[in-house]
Amino acid sequence: MKRILSAFKRFYNPPKHPDRKTKPIPISDDLRTNIETLKELFDNSSDLTIKEIALKAGDRETRIAVVTMEGLVDKETLAASITNPISNYIGITADHDDITTLLENDVITCSDHTEVTDLSELSKLVMSGFAAVLPDGANKAVAVGVQGFAYRGVEEPDTESVQRGSREGFVEPLRINISMIRRRLKTPMLKFETMTLGYTSNTDICICYLRNAVSDEILDTLRTRLKKVDLNTLFASGYLLSYIDDDGDNTMFPTVGVTERPDTACAKLCEGRIVIIVDGTPSVLYVPHLMTENFHTFDDYTNRPFFSTIARLLKYLSFFTAILLPAVYVAFASYNPEFFPAQLLTKVSGAVSHTPFSIFSEVLLFTFIYEIMREAGLRLPKTLGHAVSIIGGLVIGDTAVNSGFIGAPTLMIVALTVICSYIIPDLYASVAILRVLFIIAAGAFGIWGVVILLCMLLTYLSSKSSFGIPFFAPVSPFGLFGMRDTVVRASWSTLSRRNMKVQEIGIQE
């Protein structure tokens, strides 16, 4: 048993490998040595392209190698910025010591270039779409940005569609996402910081914030947490959640926000939040993230205040309906049937008498059946998705009621609960878990179990924090200033009176 427990411990807590960082390889002044080293690093990969060109400077001819990865560069830009200028250059004689300076200042026409003295760093840039220009006789190279890989076009995200507002959504390339934010916030206060994470994937991530709005303490905390990321690969922003979130993976309500809309990200930046963009995924993260933000959408700020307020009230009502309605139904039907109106009690008792299961078993069973159907519809190809709808609507729904397998009131309660849970998509996972917990509490202890669990939930939410900011703010601790944009959405004339920084959220005035 001890060996088994030790094996599980090693499996779930693998040892860290601090030596996985790439060791620096200095660039040699011999071109042939550098080419052989690069071929060895990539093991003569078929997509590694090395082209040698002669640069004529006066009466001297210097061999230059242009190293690229096939499919990651724009060939027209490569030819116009590097290969053609080198081949056609006729100028003054250059020493081997300043050949890279000559290339940067007089030959290469692209403005995005940098000097590199390490072959390991140069190889990472090459795999990011840069072209490496290696002159013979110099111990440094020039990396030129000529990226030109294929990517999905900018379009509206399916998960955050709006009636009014921009139809643009983030895409996979990091630089395009950065440009969409910069285009909306034309201020020098907007700053971007890039770093690389993942020992094998070497994924670029970018931290963006407004210098005049961000909290330095929160920014330092985020940098510290990102430096502790010990991942071999990083293919999606979700990989970082357990490292950034205050409670890691042990949380039901995440304290890190996710969005695919550049306008939403810019709005969070103006509030003092920090946005994290991961190369290769359209979902960006932002911190801190509060509970009340799950009930906000971009349409709330483009519609009239009274309509946005009604929409928010419906979202809050739907949230509590999604987690409490099945539990209250089970508690009343099992322990306090006198709370039902007379006509409704007759319907419920008649349905229960014709089914083989108890109310508690019916609700819990049908909740699990729906989650199975949802997962099947999510994973099936779109061409087969209608089959799940037909089976769910006819066989499991109508046929189950007519055959007496399940009661009609139970089916209606579960269906209404599911519809309400879709109104707050960011909290669907949390709502699904809470719904089951409340049903179990109601089946075991009745309405008192529901009340006690609800009090525990509110206490848990009030005790959480996101980067030092109370997660349940401005409800707990109560802040009158923050309530202008919580349940009630005030007019823009009120919201624009003062910029609300992240430090001021939940502070009563």
Whether pLDDT at 403 is above 70 = no
Whether pLDDT at 390 is above 50 = yes
The string of DSSP codes covering 220-260 is: HHHHHHHHT---S---SGGGGHHHHSTTTT--SS-SSEEE-
Least confident span in 75-89, 191-205, 246-260, 384-398: 384-398
| 95: Cα separation from own chain's centroid | 50
Of the candidates 449, 133, 502, the one whose C-alpha atom is nearest the C-alpha of residue 290 is 502
Q: Answer with the residue of higher pLDDT: 451 or 352.
A: 451
H or E stretch at 420: helix 408-421
User: What is the per-residue pLDDT for 21?
Assistant: 59
Confidence band of 163 (pLDDT split at 50, 70, 90):
confident
Residue 119 near residue 134 (C-beta atoms within 8 A):
no
Tell me the CA distances in angstroms from 430 to 130, 294, 426, 436, one per residue in order.
43, 12, 9, 10
CB atoms within 10 A of CB 58: 10
Which two structure tokens, joined as six digits, stand for 442?
């109601």
The string of DSSP codes covering 283-312 is: -EEEES--GGGGG--GGGGTS-HHHHHHHH
Residue 68 near residue 91 (C-beta atoms within 8 A):
no
pLDDT digits 0-9 by tens, 242-285: 899 888 777 888 889 999 999 999 999 998 999 999 998 999 99
CA dihedral sign, ordered 408, 409, 413, 414: negative
Whether pLDDT at 141 is above 70 = yes
Whether pLDDT at 224 is above 90 = yes
Indicate the SS3 state at residue 96: coil
Confidence band of 321 (pLDDT split at 50, 70, 90):
very high
Q: What is the mean pLDDT of residues 360-375?
A: 85
Whether pLDDT at 5 is above 60 = no
Q: What is the mean pLDDT of residues 282-292?
A: 93
Give the long-range contacts of residues 308-311, CB within 8 A, separation 24 or more.
308/489, 309/487, 309/488, 309/489
User: What is the per-residue pLDDT for 382?
Assistant: 65
Q: Is 419 left (phi over 0), alpha (psi -120 to 50) or beta?
A: alpha
User: What is the per-residue pLDDT for 290?
Assistant: 92
Confidence band of 508 (pLDDT split at 50, 70, 90):
very low
What does pTM read for this prediction? Answer: 0.83
The string of DSSP codes covering 372-388 is: HHHHHHHHS-GGGHHHH
Q: What is the mean pLDDT of residues 135-150?
A: 87
Confidence band of 392 (pLDDT split at 50, 70, 90):
low
H or E stretch at 391: none
Whether pLDDT at 378 is above 80 = no
pLDDT digits 0-9 by tens, 454-482: 999 999 999 999 998 999 988 888 888 77
Whether pLDDT at 109 is above 90 = no
Whether pLDDT at 135 is above 80 = yes
What does the alpha-carbon distance between residue 474 and residue 293 come to, in Å, rounded to a whole number? 11
Confidence band of 92 (pLDDT split at 50, 70, 90):
low
